[in-house]
Amino acid sequence: MTATTERQAGQKSKTMTMVAAVNDALRIALERDDKVMLFGEDVGMGGVFRASDNLQTLYGEERVFNTPLSEAGIMGLAVGLGIAGEKPIAELQFAGFIYPALEQINAQMGRYRQRTQGNFPLSIVVRAPYGGGIHSPEMHADSPEGLVAAVPGVKIVIPSTPYDAKGLLLAAVDDPDPVFFFESIKLYRSVKGEVPEGHYTVPLGKARIAREGSDCTVLCYGGMVEVCLEAAAAAEGAGLSVEVVDLRSLVPLDLETIAASVQKTGRVVIVHEATRRMGFGAELSAIIAERYIEYLHAPIVRVTGWDAPYPPFTAAEHMYRPDAARVASGIRKVVEY
């Protein structure tokens, strides 16, 4: 069950939204392995984004269920089930509600394998809708992937297409380590794509060149990929060739793809929704400054959320979440340097 297989030749496919792709992956995971259980706040009725729609009906209340309202409890339950050899898929209703669960994540989930010297590995998937773009209330648009990346022992995956969402989620379920799977709320219904039927996996730790280019590298993931592609397309008009790297997985990180792109372009812009200070861009930048500085022709620029909370509702969101214009301005900074 741990072998990951890429998409089979001849596999049929369907056009679907990102949330449908997630739902499809969850259904297949439940179908393939009786150890898989799916739970979280309101997961039984399909979840607030309908990612688990219909799954309780198909697989029963024993395997797909609501929990009491506690993120620490949901993470702790997942750890306990993992200790006992089950394969829990836990949902945090919004990534902004991960904070009460950080004790269980940091002190337990990430450390359990080492604390038991490999005797109690935890094969857990934690799904969390993250990020902004839909005018949500306070705390509902946070991007805490950087906090989770600080935890040794957990992996982090963030898809940007329906195809990847399904394949990466199925790979995460097969993975022997705890995997955080952040799903961009903005992309749930705004993006459609071809998704093969049945089981396939996209391997963790491999970035995707979303657009090739030679003048500048843009590193991004999740909800920012479409924004960066838009900026890259606009830059083309100005005669600039921008490479957009969709990291797909922050831990493990695809150092090879990053190295190759930086080596080629010598200029790097990093884009994420999270705050700048201690966002995952800090780690990306540090890695590049440590390993590939000889290739750099310009400062590494971060285009990110500001060092402030994500603002609620419509009032100021447009000034907070990076858009193509801001990415373009970041690109200009590095190419004009």
Partner 1 sequence: MTAATLLPDPRLEGTLSVLAPDGSLLRPDLVPDDETLLSLYTGMRRARVFDDRAMVLQRQGKLGVYPCFGGMEATQVGAATALEHGDWVLPTYRGTALAMVRGMSLAHILLAWRGHPAGYQVDPELHILPFYIPIANQIPHTAGIALAEKRRGTGRVAMAFIGDGGTSEGDFHVGVNFAGAFGAPAIFVIENNGWAISTPTSVQTAAKNLASRAEGYGMPGVRVDGNDVLAMYHVTREAAERARRGEGPTLIEAITYRILPHTSSDDPGRYREETEAQAWKSGRDPGKRLRAYLESRGMWSEAQEQQVMQAMEAEIKAAMLLADQAPEILPEALLEHIYAEPLPEMLEQLEEIRALGALE
Ligand X SMILES: Cc1ncc(C[n+]2csc(CCOP(=O)(O)OP(=O)(O)O)c2C)c(N)n1
Q: Which residues bind ligand X (CB under 6 A)?
A: 41, 69, 93, 97, 100
Is residue 140 part of the annotated active site? The answer reads yes
CA–CA separation, 36 and 121 (whole Å): 15
- Binding region for partner 1 (CB under 8 A) out of 7-15, 73-81, 209-217, 234-242: 73-81
Q: Is 288 in the site for a copy of itself (CB under 8 A)?
A: yes
Residue ranges of alpha helices (H) inside 5-111 are: 18-32, 55-59, 71-83, 102-103
Q: Is 306 in the site for partner 1 (CB under 8 A)?
A: yes
Residue ranges of alpha helices (H) inside the chain are: 18-32, 55-59, 71-83, 102-103, 112-115, 145-149, 162-174, 187-190, 224-237, 255-265, 280-291, 324-335
Q: Minimum CB separation from partner 1 for residue 335, in Å?
A: 16
Q: Locate 16 and state its tokens.
A: 């679907």
Whether the CA torsion 316, 320, 322, 327 is positive or negative: it is positive
Q: Is 57 in the site for partner 1 (CB under 8 A)?
A: no
Query: Which residue out of 135, 140, 297, 318 is catalytically annotated?
Result: 140
Query: Which residue is it, tokens 């399909």?
Result: 46
Q: Is 109 in the site for a copy of itself (CB under 8 A)?
A: no
Query: Which residue is it, tokens 């993006």?
Result: 191
Q: Is 131 in the site for a copy of itself (CB under 8 A)?
A: no
Tell me the one-letter amino acid at 79: V
Q: Is 276 in the site for partner 1 (CB under 8 A)?
A: yes
Q: Minimum CB separation from partner 1 for residue 283, in Å?
A: 11
Whose Cβ is closer to a copy of itself: residue 8's or residue 313's? 313
CA–CA separation, 177 and 205 (whole Å): 13
> Between residue 185 and residue 214, which ones bind partner 1 under the rule CB under 8 A?
none
Q: Minimum CB separation from ligand X for residue 100, in Å?
A: 6
Q: Minimum CB separation from ligand X for residue 69, in Å?
A: 5
Question: Quick one: what does residue 232 bind among a copy of itself, partner 1, ligand X, none, with the CB cut-off 5 to 8 Å set by partner type?
Answer: none
Which of 73, 86, 89, 82 has its CA nearest to residue 111? 82
Annotated active-site positions, please? 140
